Amino acid sequence: MQVKTSKASKTTTAANSLESDNSESKTILTIRDLNAYFGDFHAVKNVNMDVDANEVVALIGPSGCGKSTYIRTLNRLHEEIDGATVSGEVVLNGENIYAGHADPVSIRTKVGMVFQKPNPFPSMTIFDNVVAGLKLAGIRKRSVLEETVERCLKQAALWDEVKDKLKEPGMSLSGGQQQRLCIARTLAVNPPVVLMDEPTSALDPISTSKIEELITELKTQVTVIIVTHNMQQASRISDRTAFFYLGELIEYDETKQIFMDPKEDRTERYISGRFG
Amino acid sequence: MVAATPLTVTTAVKQEFGFRVSDFRRFRSTAMLATIWGFSLAAIIPLLFVFYFVTSKGVGGLNWDFFTALPAPVGQEGGGMANAIWGSLMIVGMAACIGVPVGVLTGVFLSEFGEGKFAATLRFTVDLMTSVPSIILGLFIYTILVVPMNGFSAYAGAVALAVIMFPIVAKTTEEVLKLIPDHIREAGLALGIPRWKVIISIVLKGSVGPVATGVILAVARVMGETAPLLFTAFGNSFWSESPSQPTATLPVAIYQYAISPFKQWHEQAWAGALVLVMIVFFANLITRVIMRGSGVKRSR
């Protein structure tokens, strides 16, 4: 499972420096030599990264640096785009999700995803939105569905606001509520890892702080990998931060370390706002 | 410069027309609105006239017999178009059974997998087929079905109408499904739902209302088609024993009665026209009522 990378690239120094810390906490995701392409365009270049269970990892970097593409390789959503390909290994709990026999559909039940724009399913009620994943997997038992709806909406801190109108369309909620509904929908299939692609960039500050609180609470149950353009957000909610630039993972370290004393000059220049 | 422009216009307008620029703008706005209203009314007028004429001329010929009796021989009073009404409903029903599934699935294919050469060709073909004159489609079905089967039949009529329906349904379905943003599909995939289920249970189910509207428009369109039926279902003065025989339809019956020299038949033709318009009208109305409250909710 632990593939030692001996190549003296910048990314491996980052990964190596973390291996010592890994002794006590459990590694849930191991990413090795990951490359992602759109046709001929090399969007993500040779990324190596370890993620511990129950931590929040923030991915920062200028637009177009490949962070969104990168997290979309972690649930095999990247390959759904025409001409998009991936090489490398992503090991989730000891299982390589890119192994030949691996089924992308079942992997996505283990690695959930929340998108930039709130996207409840049209013409579905709040209730049906939450259990869409379960229902379409064939679970019909009313008691199970009801229990899941209550648990997930409570986890997503939305229950009190919607418990009396579960039969209303998901689209009738406000933007921030819709995003929390989408988080509840993701949690309903019980994924150990949740990916978030700029989940608050379309929301107002109050909704944003609600989602941030929520992420901190979810940490006890899931591992969160979040892409954000907001560096304050990264520093507030994440345990570790990864800085991407032009498709490469430049630096990956404790969030405090990245923001107080980054090792790389490019990281420092980015977080101090001198480029990007 | 920017600030100077309105001033000059004001002065110019005042000099030329003797009123202020705000008056001029108000006048222009009112004139434009009046034009829009005028043209919209002009667009409705033909429809209102059709309704008026068909109702006023057709209502006299309507009675119980019209819906239950066969056409009377020339010179005899009474008679109806029961066979034509039933024939139309049956042929359009059969046509919908063929044309709607094929059309919806083609639309799904074009919207969800519509990249690449084959899809581009298919899309072009569908566009082309919506504009092929229906009489040519009728001749086509005549050649490939009526001639080999040795006779006119309701089946041939249904196939001809299905060929007219399918591109309309396909086009509407494609356009409607494309309105569902890609990130909704990705949200489904990201939940571990297989793509085919995402398409059926999220994309298509979210567009039931608009797709149904497309289907109704297609049904309404073929309900009144005459030319292709002349070559396929042909017509019949009696009940058809089976769909493999020549079958009467409302549009063809209207056509035959209207070009006849008999005054009484003209009255029947008007009554038939009224029934045809009513069928289309109620089909539209009923679908609207059923579909109200379902379908895509506006997000904001």
pLDDT at A2 over 80: no
pLDDT at B5: 53
Q: How far is A202 from chain B (nearest CA, A)?
A: 14
Q: Positive or negative CA dihedral for B229, B232, B236, B241?
A: negative
Question: Domain map of chain B by residue range?
Answer: 4-59, 64-291
pLDDT at A90: 95
> Can you give the CATH number for the domain in which A147 is found?
3.40.50.300
* A-chain residue closest to B208, CA distance: A123
- Site of tokens 């648990």: A151
Determine which of A95-99, A193-197, B70-74, B136-140 has the lowest per-residue pLDDT on average: B70-74
pLDDT at B264: 86
Partner-chain contact A137 B193, CB within 8 Å = yes
* Residue ranges making up the domain that contains A129: 10-271
The per-residue pLDDT for range A34-47, each reduced to its tens digit, is 999 999 999 999 99
Q: How confident is the model at residue A54 (pLDDT cuts 50, 70, 90)?
A: very high
Residues of B with Cβ-Cβ distance to A169 under 8 angstroms: 297
| Mean pLDDT within B10-17 | 63
Asked whether residue A4 is assigned to any structural domain, the reply reads no
- Site of tokens 């307008």: B13
The per-residue pLDDT for range B142-201, each reduced to its tens digit, is 999 999 998 999 999 999 999 999 999 999 999 999 999 999 999 999 999 999 999 999
The per-residue pLDDT for range B63-76, each reduced to its tens digit, is 898 898 888 887 78
The per-residue pLDDT for range A173-192, each reduced to its tens digit, is 999 999 999 999 999 999 99
Q: For residues B295 and B111, which has the higher predicted lDDT (pLDDT)?
A: B111
Q: How confident is the model at residue A57 (pLDDT cuts 50, 70, 90)?
A: very high
The per-residue pLDDT for range B80-100, each reduced to its tens digit, is 899 999 999 999 999 999 999
Partner-chain contact A105 B206, CB within 8 Å = no
DSSP state of A224: E
Q: Within 10 A of A105 (CB to CB), how many other CB atoms are there?
A: 15
Would you state the structure tokens that stand for residue A182, as one six-digit string? 């989408």
How distant, in Å, are the alpha carbons of A46, A171, A235 from that of A32? 8, 39, 25
pLDDT at A19 over 60: no
Q: Positive or negative CA dihedral for A67, A73, A76, A81?
A: positive
How distant, in Å, are the alpha carbons of B159, B256, B295 from that of A59? 58, 75, 38
| Mean pLDDT within A138-163 | 92
SS3 B116: coil
Asked whether residue A3 is assigned to any structural domain, the reply reads no
pLDDT at A52 over 90: yes
Q: How far apart are CA B96 and CA B158, in angstroms?
A: 8
Query: Phi and psi of A112, rounded to 5°?
Result: -80, 170
Would you state the structure tokens that stand for residue B297, as one six-digit string? 């909710």
Q: How far apart are CA A132 and CA A188, in angstroms?
A: 9
Q: How confident is the model at residue B263 (pLDDT cuts 50, 70, 90)?
A: confident
What average pLDDT does chain A have?
Answer: 88
pLDDT at B14: 64
Asked whether residue A195 is assigned to any structural domain, the reply reads yes
Q: For residues A2 and B237, which has the higher predicted lDDT (pLDDT)?
A: B237
Domain at B64-291, CATH from 1.10.3720.10, 3.90.1150.10, 3.90.550.10, 2.60.40.2310: 1.10.3720.10
Burial of A53 (0-12, 13-18, 19+ CB in 10 A): middle
Q: Which residues of A184-212 are buried (b: 16+ CB within 10 A; e: fewer)?
A: bbbbbbebbbbbbbbbbebbeeebbebbb
Whether A72 and A107 have beta carbons less than 8 Å apart is answered as no
Q: Closest to A105 (Cβ–Cβ): which among B186, B194, B294?
A: B194
Which of B148, B137, B151, B128 minimizes the C-alpha distance to B95?
B137
| Mean pLDDT within B17-35 | 85
Which of A39, A53, A52 minimizes the C-alpha distance to A221?
A53
Q: How far apart are CA A169 and CA B209, in angstroms?
A: 15
How distant, in Å, are the alpha carbons of A53, B222, B233, B239, B255 from that of B225? 66, 5, 12, 21, 11
pLDDT at A12: 42
DSSP state of A120: P
Asked whether residue A2 is assigned to any structural domain, the reply reads no
Strands A193-197 and A111-114 come out as parallel
| Mean pLDDT within A156-182 | 93
Partner-chain contact A169 B115, CB within 8 Å = no
Partner-chain contact A121 B190, CB within 8 Å = no
* A-chain residue closest to B198, CA distance: A136
Residues of A with Cβ-Cβ distance to B212 under 8 angstroms: none
The per-residue pLDDT for range A94-107, each reduced to its tens digit, is 999 999 899 999 99
What average pLDDT does chain B have?
Answer: 88
Q: Count how many domains chain A has.
A: 1
Q: How far apart are CA B151 and CA B27, in angstroms?
A: 66
Would you state the structure tokens that stand for residue A149, as one six-digit string? 């709806």
pLDDT at A13 over 90: no
Whether A79 and B112 have beta carbons less than 8 Å apart is answered as no
pLDDT at A131 over 80: yes
Partner-chain contact B190 A171, CB within 8 Å = no
Partner-chain contact A123 B180, CB within 8 Å = no
Burial of B229 (0-12, 13-18, 19+ CB in 10 A): buried
Q: Closest to A123 (Cβ–Cβ): which among B115, B187, B206?
A: B206
Which of A59, A61, A136, A169 minimizes the C-alpha distance to B294?
A169
* A-chain residue closest to B184, CA distance: A119
| Mean pLDDT within B207-220 | 89
pLDDT at A223 over 50: yes
Would you state the structure tokens that stand for residue B218, as one six-digit string? 């297609």
pLDDT at A51: 95
Burial of A74 (0-12, 13-18, 19+ CB in 10 A): buried
pLDDT at A4 over 50: no
The per-residue pLDDT for range B38-49, each reduced to its tens digit, is 999 999 999 899
Which of A192, A200, A198 minimizes the C-alpha distance to A219?
A192
Residues sharing a CB contact under 8 Å with residue B58, sequence separation 6 or more, in sequence order: B270, B271, B272, B273, B274, B275
Partner-chain contact B298 A171, CB within 8 Å = yes
Q: How confident is the model at residue B17 (pLDDT cuts 50, 70, 90)?
A: low
Q: Angle at which helices B250-258 and B263-291 pack, to 10 degrees? A: 150
Q: For residues B209 and B143, which has the higher predicted lDDT (pLDDT)?
A: B143
